[in-house]
Chains A and B, each alone.
Chain A
Amino acid sequence: MFKKVLVANRGEIAVRVLRACRELGLQTVAVYSEVDRSALHVRYADEAYCIGPASARESYLRIDRIIDVAVRSKAEAIHPGYGFLAENDDFARACTEAGIVFIGPPAAAMRAMGNKIQARRTVSQQGVPVVPGTYEPLRDEEMLVAANQVGFPLFVKATAGGGGKGMRRVERIEDLANAITRARSEAESAFGDGTLYLERIVKPARHIEFQILADARGNVIHLGERECSIQRRHQKMVEESPSLALDEKLREKMGTAAVAAAQAAGYVNAGTIEFLLDKDRNFYFLEMNTRLQVEHPVTELVTGIDIVKEQLRIASGRPLSYRQGDVQQRGWAIECRITAEDAFNGFLPSTGKIISLHEPTGPGVRLESALYGGFEVSLYYDPLIAKLCVWGSDRATAIMRMKRALGEYKILGVSTSIPFHQRLFQSTSFIGGMIDTSFLDERFSMEQGGSDERERVAAIIAALLTHDRRQHALNIPPPTSSTRGGWKRFGNWEGLGR
């Protein structure tokens, strides 16, 4: 095993990886941008090095500076987390060339799966069903012709894409040319590669993905599925494991296909095979994510396997600690992605300083977070600020536990997605498991279903606050107007509740 590991990331995932390292007794190195000097990962690690200004392009994406820190600090391995450089094969290669172990797949496997068209070809050659679409890079005119064979509605997707970037939904051929232009431009600016492909929209469908682990000795296992159908504009908001849609037979079939897909790519380390599952229970390979996933904790909670520790073991050349037969799913786990977005205002990003924080705890609750009182949520980085995960003996227990934990979670200073999650966990469709990837965008609204009783209480509270202000209007300075929706500092409440 390594003695010292560098974590090339920030936020909750950097802390997650640092925790695994600490439990294994490894020394840790953090890197940070100028605005992250006080961030939790910097304070948590044994050593920390500044790698540039706030903009990720000048810091967390600077391969040269990160490698330089690794060499200077004598770190033997680098964990990239997710996002930033996690799926950048140039980075994986640069690590290898500098004599540092990249904790992830070999650059070649990453490249093969990172190129979505190539991945579609590789996987379909193994007999794994793939979403109907195109398999070769096409020019714009060729794409217009191919579109009719693929069928509408369809997605225009970036070959180098991910996370909804460079992706456009197209209903009619008339809209295709414009969608191609926009998607290409987005893909070029986000990934430096404007190659696109077409993919038929399978609908209704569930997004089901399989976690796999592969060691360098050719052992590949899967850790079961994650249900990720709760998506808002292709961004996952809630994940659970297992999925209500799978029985033991289908789980084994999809798991076997996932293992075959990983083997086809010569994959090593942790990865995820994403599938779509249609209403007739046909499944189609969507893509492979060659990294640790945001939602890995739900798999850890039901299998008891620490995926990050396995990643470290695999990268150090050790064999997997588990065989397929050892993997058992026990109970039910759910994760809510807590983002700094205003759920009541179209999920606009919200920024500001965390002025007060109360985190949920108690039985069956796991919180992955890098928040603290005083932390500044900025526009520079992803709005994901924490992941609230729960485990229960069954799905109903896990849902009740999540509702309980969400109610305890109080973040003041920025607007968050917590109210959205609370509404979702009141939805009878969600509780009944009647979900697919279009559920949030088409059959869920923040406006529906507010309670009359809470409305009345809100009216009383507002009247009491107004009354208090009137009573004190003569002896306190006028409060500064607060910024909308930020749950910012309220003003002087010295007259209240003594």
Chain B
Amino acid sequence: MRYTAIINDKTYEIEVGANNTVAVNGKPHRVDFRAIDGNAQFSLLLDNTSWEALVDRNGDEYRVLIGGDLNVVVVQDERTRKMAKAEGEQTAPMGEAIIKAPMPGLVRGVVVNVGDNVAAKQGVVILEAMKMENELRTPREGIVKEVRVKAGDRVEQGQPLLIIK
């Protein structure tokens, strides 16, 4: 089976063969690959060079941590390459701007109300996180459509806080 592994702008053509062999950009290697704990820890002997990796997968994206280096690898086979191409052609215009928590924290205050006109780059929510008070600002001008949090709320990363239309 042939796979394309993409790391940043670099691609590796990897052919996984029978009998513990792989070819990387045409160059053959012997591999012995083991799951260590059934979770995220793996051992690879690549031509007898020993590597340990922690791997976290999210869809076709793998976050591979080796000795302090994190490589985010997207792996495609022929089918997923086509799917990715099709998705790339869709454009979804956004009618609303959702301000999300960039990190987990505690809402210290919301300084606007529903119906308020807001300017671009206007501070709207104060989020206490990482020992600092952080001012979250609007991406563009508009009207506050919805406020989903109040002072004292604990929020998770990515949680919508406020919607601007």
Chain A residues in the interface with B (C-beta under 8 A): 163-165, 182, 185-186, 189, 233, 235, 344, 346-349, 351, 355-356, 379, 406-407, 410, 412, 418-423, 426, 450-451, 454-467, 470, 479, 481-482, 484-491, 493, 496-497
Question: With A186-B132, A406-B68, A454-B67 given, is the CB distance from A467 to B39 under 8 Å?
Answer: no
A69 to B69 alpha-carbon distance, docked (Å): 47
Q: How far is B131's CA from A233's CA once the two chains are assembled, in angstroms? A: 10
B132 touches A461 (CB 8 A): no
Tell me the interface secondary structure of chain B in the complex. strand
Closest chain-B Cβ to A275's Cβ sits at a distance in Å of 23
Which residues of B lie under 8 Å from residue A490 when comparing CB positions?
38-40, 55-57
* Bound Cα distance A466, B14 (Å): 11
Cβ of A462 and Cβ of B62 under 8 Å apart? Answer: yes
Minimum CB–CB distance from A255 to chain B (whole Å) comes to 31
A320 to B24, CA, bound (A): 65
B84 CB, min distance to chain A CBs, angstroms: 14
B residues within 8 Å of A by Cβ? 1, 3, 5, 7, 10, 12, 14, 16, 22, 24, 29, 31, 33-35, 37-42, 44, 46, 51, 53-60, 62-71, 73, 75, 77, 103-104, 108, 128-133, 154, 157
Most buried by A among B29, B31, B35, B128: B35
Does the CB pair A496–B35 fall under 8 Å? yes
Please determine whether B22 and A460 come into contact, CB atoms closer than 8 angstroms. yes
Say yes or no: B70 contacts A496, CB within 8 Å.
Answer: no
Do B104 and A351 touch across chains, with their CB atoms under 8 A apart? yes
Q: How far is the CA of A233 from the CA of B70 in the complex (A)?
A: 23
| Known contacts A379-B154, A422-B67, A496-B34: A349-B130 contact under CB 8 Å | yes
A490 to B3 alpha-carbon distance, docked (Å): 21
* Cβ-defined contact, A458 with B33, below 8 A: no
Across the interface, do B56 and A456 meet the contact criterion of CB distance under 8 Å?
A: no
Q: Given the complex of chains A and B, what is the CA–CA distance between A457 and B22 in angstroms?
A: 12
Contact B59 A459 (CB under 8 A): no
CB distance from A126 to the nearest CB of B (A): 32
Number of residue pairs A-B, CB distance < 8 angstroms: 178
The answer to whether A419 and B131 have CB atoms under 8 Å apart is: no
**Which A residues are CB-close (under 8 A) to B128?**
189
Q: Across the A-B interface, give the 5 residue pairs with the lowest CB-CB distance, nearest first.
A: A422-B68, A497-B34, A458-B71, A458-B64, A459-B5
Q: Given A454-B66, A491-B57, does the pair A460, B46 have CB atoms closer than 8 Å?
A: yes
Chain A residues with CB below 8 A from B39, complex form: 355-356, 412, 487-490
Contacting pair A461 B55 (CB below 8 A): yes
- Known A-B contacts A419-B68, A459-B7, A463-B5; the reply to A356 vs B56 at CB < 8 A is no
Residues in chain A near residue B65, CB distance under 8 A: 419, 487
Q: Report the Cα distance A467→B130, complex, angstroms.
A: 40
B contact residues around A450 at 8 Å (CB): 69-71
| Distance in angstroms between the alpha carbons of A450 and B132 in the assembled complex | 30
Q: Are A465 and B62 in contact (CB under 8 A)?
A: yes
B149 to chain A, nearest CB (A): 16
Closest chain-B Cβ to A168's Cβ sits at a distance in Å of 9
Write 25 A-B pairs (CB below 8 A) sorted by A numbering: A165-B131, A182-B133, A235-B131, A349-B104, A349-B130, A356-B37, A356-B40, A419-B68, A422-B67, A422-B68, A454-B66, A458-B53, A460-B12, A460-B46, A461-B53, A461-B64, A463-B3, A463-B16, A463-B75, A465-B55, A465-B57, A467-B16, A482-B58, A484-B63, A488-B40
B56 x A497 contact (CB < 8 A) = no
Is the CB–CB distance between A412 and B46 below 8 Å? no
- Closest chain B residue to A486, Cβ basis: B56
B41 touches A356 (CB 8 A): yes
Contact flag A348-B103 (CB < 8 Å), given A185-B133, A356-B37, A458-B73: yes
Considering only CB atoms, which chain A residue lies closest to B6 in the complex?
Answer: A459
Instruction: Report chain B residues within 8 Å CB of A418.
Output: 68
List of A residues within 8 angstroms of B41 by Cβ: 356, 410, 412
Which of A235, A348, A454, A485 contacts B56 (CB under 8 A)?
A: A485
The answer to whether A460 touches B56 (Cβ under 8 A) is: no
Residues of B within 8 A of A470 (CB): 1, 77
Q: Once the chains bind, are B68 and A164 in contact (CB under 8 Å)? A: no
CB contact under 8 A between A466 and B42, given known A412-B54, A458-B71: no
